[in-house]
Structure 1
Amino acid sequence: MSEAPSRAATPSTAVPPVAKKVPSPREHHGDVFVDQYEWLREKEDPEVVAHLKAENAYTEAVTAGQQPLRDAIFEEIKGRTQETDLSVPSRLGDWWYYSRTIEGQQYPVYCRVAASGAAGDVEAWTPPAVVPGEPVPGEAVLLDGNAEAAGKPFFALGGATVSRDGCLYAYSVDNAGNETFTLRIRDLRTGDHLPEVIENVFYGLEFSTDGGRLYYVVADESWRPYQIRVHVLGTPVEQDAVLYEERDVAQWTSIDLSGDRRWLLVSVGNSEYSETRYLDLDDAEARLELLLGRDERILHSAELFERDGATRVLLVHNRDAKGEAAVNSMVSTAPLAEFAKPLAEQRWTTVVAHDDAVKIEGAEVTASHLLVALRRDTIETVRFAPLAEALVAAEAGRAPSFAEPAFGEELYTAGAGVSDYRAPVARLSYTSFFTPPRVYDYVLATGELLLRKETPVLGGYDPQDYVAERAWATADDGTQVPLSVLRKASVRADGTNPALVYGYGSYEVSMDPAFAIPRLSLLDRGVVFVVAHTRGGGELGRRWYEAGKKLLKRNTFTDFVAATDWLAASGWADPTRIACMGGSAGGLLIGAALNLAPEKYAAAVAQVPFVDALTTILDPELPLSALEWEEWGNPIEDSAVYAYMKSYTPYENVRPAGYPAVAAVTSFNDTRVLYVEPAKWVQVLREATTSANPIVLKTEMDAGHGGASGRYEAWKDRAWDYAFIADALGARNLIS
């Protein structure tokens, strides 16, 4: 099916950089760990920068033979992508908003055109016929990402929002990759920027109803969003007031608007409980009010909406007002006035009851309907119900009658939302592993699905050439772990194929079915691609997540190895030709799996890998560390957590063994997983490995957690990763 594996030998002139050893003791709970490479954390030290550049030079030399394969994969990605394209316009108020991409340009151009027609008229919500590459009468450019990026080493748009009257456009830009943004405001009537420039803002921007105030989020020195500030347009930025400040270092703060855009919602919380506050944007004198506090230890999200002349609250929550648990969450509603009472006295009405087999992922309301996102049998989908009928049924103790769109695939992902509260349609997105993203408008009154776009895939792509199937691996404790097995239809289960196992398994994040053009380049080379839905993710509900966090975290790693064992025994792969890949917390998964069973893998790519987790979480001054305590436990306070994390954190558990070819890929300006973690890890891997397989570190010097900016650079990054895998597996050539 594919040629025999043949790892390219390291050129004799290429010698891996050897970092000096500077002993740095770390002592906690009576345990002393001497870290020889902690000095690499000094980002401003010229010796550190020189070392990373030497690592890049070594990586380039070792992998030089993969350049033709990288070029081929890049051209395949490019050749399948319609480079001049646009998003489906989305209506908000009196305007249609969309983005364009143009062949040869890295970044989108954000645009709008005027809308017409009554808010309740379905025809008025039919997107205008905007054609890729053709001018649109009346089109206004809000922001040209290419112009913003000109002369900059990096560009990312952090957020953007438009004032209620459509006259002002606020947006934030990152030019370093560190996810810290510069905020500017453009007057769309003149095209000019307002004089104020606000530096060092975080994600989250919202205008007041009258457009005279702008609410934004600020992060502290450890990159934790902790303040909500208010800028009054036309006043000095230095006078911006602090609307809210969160002092608990283990809490994350964010803002959002209610669907009707009347209420500013401030959310504070972590992965186990949360708090919601609200502000009436129609009242310039209003104060921020507490809706549901963290002391109740209820993990929830809230939406405020108007009904029959009164304000109501829609809650998605994991514990009700009487203290009854709902681990997979449920949906309730209550008048806003109820939340002024003590919790035990509040009366919430159940709209969607708890179900052990169905995880409620979210809910929102429009002027006419209730939308509920849910996960069932690993698959995320959406249901709709008329809001008035749902509320009446709930008050009567009955379950509302929901409509759910039907799709013909076993493995897919569907979601929905509305851009405007008054819309008679919901915008529905659909994709699967081999169905390119589709955008529908779902007519709320009738259930009709109107296809607005399927992302084109060029180069003769035929989804029938590929197969996606569900399989199950048996974990060490007997747990059945779901797998998604992807392959080209021509591949046979003859035990000769190269294969890649991919995983994440943290933060209740699910690896949902989604189409990816770059992945086709691996499949077309005969690689069987397996997604391991390990515990710690959210694929099988909240309990699946809880079974892979804190003192049960090792389940994530052993599940991944079990997935590899299933693949090796399935007939779909040659056991000697299996690689693994994961990023961020998935990089921790890769590092842990390599320590557990290095002999099971021929190659590994760890993208921005969280491989020195214990060191990071022990220091609350480092970015996000304190926020991680609800995911991994607090090793500072708890000796059992410390010992447990020490037993699996990849950097501290590298052992003498025959490690496979390893590529650690990182970014110098990453604020989520610092470059120092893979830099240290690579050093100890090289010292410990008993094999001759190359272990390389590739650092993007002008990038952040998501890698280099720009779509072409992203394609090059993916081509690099996949070429490393394909080369190690002997899967360089396309198959029929």
Structure 2
Amino acid sequence: MTNAQTTAVPPIAAVKPTELTTHGHTRIDNYYWLNERENPEVINYLKAENEYLETVLAPVSEFREKLFDEMKSRIKQQDESVPYQEGNYFYYTRYLEGGEYPVHCRKRGSLEAEEEIMLDVNELAKAYSYYDLAGLEVSDNEELVAYGEDTVSRRMYTLRVKNLKTGEIYPDAIPDTEGGSYAWAADNQTLFYIRKDAQTLLGYQVYRHTLGTDPEQDVLLYEEKDNQFYLGLGRMKSKKYIAVVSDHNGVATEFRLLEASNPAGDFKVFLPREKGHEYDVQHLETTFYVRTNWKADNFRLMEVKENKTKDRSAWKEVIPHRHHVYLEQLDAFKSHLVLGERRDGLMHLRVIDQKKKQDHYLEFDDPAYVAGIGYNPDFNTNILRFTYSSLTTPSSTFDYNMDTKEKTLMKQQEVIGDFDPNNYTSERFIVKSRDGAKVPVSLVYRKGTPKDGSAPLLQYAYGSYGYSIDPNFSSTRLSLLDRGFMFAIAHIRGGQEMGRKWYDNGKMFKKKNTFNDFVDVSEYLIQNQYTQTDRLFAMGGSAGGLLMGAVVNQKPELYRGVVAAVPFVDVVTTMLDESIPLTTGEFEEWGNPKIKKYYDYMLSYSPYDNVKEQAYPNMLVMTGLHDSQVQYWEPAKWVAKLRTMKTDDNVLLLQTNLETGHGGASGRFEALKDIALEYAFILNLVGIRQ
């Protein structure tokens, strides 16, 4: 697909001006009408864009298929997770030859016992073009499993219950629930769940359901009145408590607890919410461990007895606050505490022996890696399960003896084919942003790739919500690396790689730091001969798509091509509309544009509002019609406006998956088709078509 080959005529969206006036300022939105999801004209336009994409990419259609087959061939068809023991059973998932979805299994007593199939998701998904299963909560008597299923990709799950002894799926079907937020009471008859609002898609009510009764009669136990808070629910590790969590990212947390043995009781507040105070808790015997940012930006660890939780004077410090270490993870065992501490942008696992009052850190060798505490349901053990990956090391699961320090590899992701990790190398270095901030960069490439500026490079980042993008392994990425590409992750502000202030300095009135960091990393990569402008590509999704939109407005000449997946690009209009799903909970991330100072600042960077007459890179924009996080019309409007404003003849493509939402296609293989499209688009632009 050279420019000479793009003779197809792109569809042009009809111009239907809509005046949007806020704070006395009027914007004209020519494509506001594209938000009419049920309008046949909208659907026809999206289909026309899809057809245009296929026409433009027709010369690389076989290459796309080859990339898909290549990536699929690296995945072990028949695979199985590392079992974990909980109660009387060992639980695991496995994949069948050709199976898109997992089969959830268990064995009683030992791994040599007869297998019981709990849920075969391949069977459950047969009747649907999209299927996602979430939850899987087993009752205390180990006879029932609760789970949620989404068949539309709007993240609205129907709660179901299956009897694992008889195989019967009960008629208790409860729609519009928060997938994965289910909890059994100890009586094996009572189930707690969160109901979501059909318009805003926010979970806002906690209900109690008794098996065999009409869900219409379920008891409302709690309703979150503040629509800026997100609700979560689950059974704590100790199994003693069911917890309801109200969380407003970056603002406040509030836990409510109910003893699982008293399902008819009331949830009691652990500590009332207070603006600026975030915390989470873990229960062990008669003590709660509290990870808290109370007088501690990077969080500290405290403990408190069960009956003293509301009295902060009774909280005792276990791990103090440290300015250079962000306390991110916690797990408690009878004799040990395990902490996930982020330092210098990397996760460090710290083991504390409670009896000996000694601690140590696990050692990792890769310059750029990701490690994390795994699922450890048993308190009474000295074995820690943790996960590890790096840019050159496939995802690995280890069991670690916290007393002897012996580490056992339980499973490593198997990459089928001739993959050899020794053929690849990774680097980690610091780039100084324009205001002096030190931005970490993780880089991977195949050994022998030239470092003289001639190599193509794909730069990726996210940079929002305090979500850290860690340098993990990707078998699909090998399709780029083996064709001479370098791949770089820019750990820009807005994430939390360098601690809480790293996040705070990339949100609200400091959001532009996120975009500047990305651009400054790009310029560093060019200046230091990793690549050059006609071989540099950028990629980001969702809030990372906002990043892509801001970057191409600011410095379009730096990039040969850009991939923006489900991009959040119409920031002001979306944040002004509280009826759009999930908007209100975002006010502390972006600001509330109903307040003029926020409106002015957001308007100054909103990608859609700042499209201008200039040359833009080649661009591939992807979305899903049923997206619950970023509505499809944002990227559709953006592309329509870009078509009328850009002064170049570079390719601009929009793909709308008419059957999926924010996460793209379901299934382990089907999702690879999107990646094959992205890679074919990128590789083709540098003349690689095989």
Q: Is the TM value for this pair above 0.5?
A: yes
Counterparts of 1:252-651 in structure 2 under 5 Å? 252-272=230-250, 273-295=252-274, 297-306=276-285, 311-319=286-294, 325-341=295-311, 343=312, 346-388=313-355, 400-417=357-374, 418-636=376-594, 638-651=595-608
> Shift of residue 479 of structure 1?
1.6
- Could you list the per-position Cα deviations for residues 381-415 of structure 1 after superposition, in whole angstroms to 9, with x for gaps in the alignment? 322223455xxxxxxxxxx5223221221211111
Corresponding residue of 2:141: 165
CA distance in 1 between counterparts of 2:459 and 2:240 reads 46
Partner of 2:30: 36
1:714 Cα deviation (Å)? 0.9
Whole-Å separation in 1 of the counterparts to 2:66 and 2:189: 52
For 1:627 and 1:214, locate their aligned partners in 2 and report how far apart those are by CA, in whole Å: 27
- Three-state SS of the structure 1 residue aligned to 2:152 is coil
Counterpart of 2:291, as a letter, is V
* Cα pair 1:579 1:729 within 8 Å, conserved: no
The separation in 1 between residues aligned to 2:40 and 2:476, in whole angstroms, is: 36
Contact 1:427/1:442 (8 A) holds in 2: yes
Question: Which structure 1 segments of 5+ residues have no match?
Answer: 1-5, 117-127, 130-136, 320-324, 390-399
User: Deviation string for 1:594-627 (max 9, x for gaps)?
Assistant: 0001111111100000011111111111111000
| One-letter amino acid matched to 1:576 | D
Match of 1:216 in 2: 193
Give the TM-score normalised by structure 1: 0.91
How far 1:151 sits from its partner (Å)? Answer: 2.1
C-alpha distance in structure 2 between counterparts of 1:340 and 1:552, whole Å: 34
Contact in 1 for aligned 2:392/2:444 (Cα 8 Å): no
Matched-pair contact (CA < 8 Å) for 1:317–1:326: yes
SS at match of 2:37: coil
Whole-Å separation in 1 of the counterparts to 2:35 and 2:282: 42
Aligned to 2:14: 20
Letter in 2 for 1:375: R
CA contact (8 A) 2:257 2:270 kept: yes
Q: Please give the alpha-carbon distance, in whole angstroms, between the structure 1 residues aligned to 2:433 and 2:276.
A: 32
Determine the C-alpha separation between the residues in 1 that align with 2:615 and 2:3.
17
Q: Given residue 286 of structure 1, which amino acid in structure 2 is its aligned partner?
A: G
Partners of 2:589 and 2:275 lie apart in 1 by: 19
Is 1:258–1:305's contact at 8 Å kept on the other side of the alignment? no
Q: CA RMSD in A?
A: 1.4
AA aligned opposite 2:55: A
| 8 Å contact kept, 1:111–1:143 | yes
Three-state SS of the structure 2 residue aligned to 1:518 is coil
1:95 pairs with 2:72:
no
Contact 1:158 1:179 in 2 (8 A): no
- What is the SS of the residue equivalent to 2:21? strand
In 2, the alpha carbon distance for the partners of 1:262 and 1:197 equals 27
Which whole-Å deviations, capped at 9, do the CAs of 1:522-567 have from their partners, x for residues lacking one?
1111111111111101110101111100000000001100011011
Paired residue type of 1:416: I
Q: Distance in 1 between matches of 2:672 and 2:87?
A: 36
In structure 2, what is the equivalent of residue 666 of structure 1?
623
Counterpart Cα distance in 2 of 1:156 and 1:620: 27
For residues 454-475 of structure 1, give each alpha carbon's deviation from its aligned partner in whole angstroms, at most 9, with x where no partner exists: 1111211111111110122221
Overall identity of the aligned pairs, in %: 38
Q: Match of 1:312, as an amino acid?
A: T
What is the rounded CA distance, in whole Å, between the counterparts of 1:663 and 1:383 in structure 2?
A: 42
- Correspondence for 2:667 among 698, 710, 730: 710
Q: Distance in 1 between matches of 2:359 and 2:347?
A: 16
Measure how far apart 1:10 and its partner are. Answer: 4.5
Displacement after TM superposition at 1:93 (Å): 0.6
- C-alpha contact (below 8 Å) 1:465/1:488 kept by paired residues: yes
Is the 2:541–2:565 contact (alpha carbons within 8 Å) kept by the matching residues of 1?
yes
Aligned counterpart in structure 2 of residue 70 of structure 1, from 45, 64, 84: 64
Cα deviation, 1:690-715, whole Å, max 9, x if unaligned, reads 11111111011111111011111111
TM-aligned CA distance change 1:701 to 1:498, over 3 Å: same
Per the alignment, residue 3 of structure 1 pairs with none
Residue 106 of structure 1 corresponds to: 100
CA distance in 1, matches of 2:384, 2:207: 32
Displacement of 1:9 in angstroms is 3.6
> Does the Cα contact within 8 Å between 1:10 and 1:694 map onto a contact in 2?
no
Kindly report which structure 2 residues correspond to 1:124-163, keeping only aligned pairs within 5 A, or say none.
128=111, 137-163=113-139
How far residue 160 of structure 1 moved from its aligned partner, in angstroms, is 1.3
Task: Give, in angstroms, the shift of residue 722 of structure 1.
Answer: 1.1
Q: Which amino acid aligns with 1:231?
A: H
Cα distance between partner residues in 1 of 2:353 and 2:219: 41
Q: Are residues 1:232 and 2:218 paired?
A: no
The answer as to whether partners of 2:329 and 2:373 remain within 8 angstroms in 1 is no
Query: Secondary structure at the residue paired with 2:172?
Result: strand
| Alignment-mate amino acid for residue 688 of structure 1 | M
* Structure 2 counterpart of 1:59, from 53, 59, 78: 53
Structure 2: distance between partners of 1:43 and 1:278: 41
1:201 is matched with which residue?
177
CA displacement at 1:296 relative to structure 2: 5.5
- Give the counterpart letter for 1:280 in structure 2: E
Over 3 Å counting, the alpha-carbon distance change for 1:356 and 1:15 in structure 2 is same
**Secondary structure in structure 1 of the residue aligned to 2:476:** helix
Supply the AA of the counterpart residue of 1:368.
S
Question: Does structure 2 retain, via aligned residues, the 8 Å contact 1:526–1:731?
Answer: no
The answer (yes or no) to whether the contact 2:136–2:145 under 8 Å persists in 1 is yes
Q: 2-side partners of 1:242 and 1:543: how far apart?
A: 39
Q: Which range is displaced more, 569-578 or 687-696? A: 569-578
- Contact kept? 1:328, 1:360, Cα under 8 Å: yes
**Residue deviations 1:83-115, cap 9 Å, x none?**
111101111111011111112111111111112
In the TM superposition, what is the alpha-carbon distance from 1:11 to its structure 2 partner? 4.2
Amino acid aligned to 1:505: G
Q: Which amino acid aligns with 1:335?
A: K
Q: Which runs of 4+ in 1 moved over 4 A?
A: none
1:146 counterpart letter in structure 2: N
1:216, distance to aligned residue in structure 2 (A): 0.9
Shift of 1:421: 3.0
Structure 1 residue 486, shift from structure 2 partner: 1.3
5+ residue gaps, structure 2, are none
Code of the aligned partner of 1:305: L
Residues 184, 235 of structure 2: 8 Å contact kept: no
Instruction: Check whether the contact 1:25–1:32 (CA below 8 A) recurs between aligned residues.
Output: yes
- Distance in 2 (CA, whole Å) between partners of 1:461 and 1:535 is 34
**CA deviation digits over 1:475-534, x for unaligned, max 9?**
111222111111111112122111111110001111101110111111111111111111
Deviation of 1:285 (Å): 4.0
* Cα-to-partner distance string for 1:254-283 (whole Å, 9 max, x where unaligned): 112221111011111212221111111112
How high is the TM-score relative to the length of structure 2?
0.97
What secondary structure sits across from 2:670 in the alignment?
Answer: helix
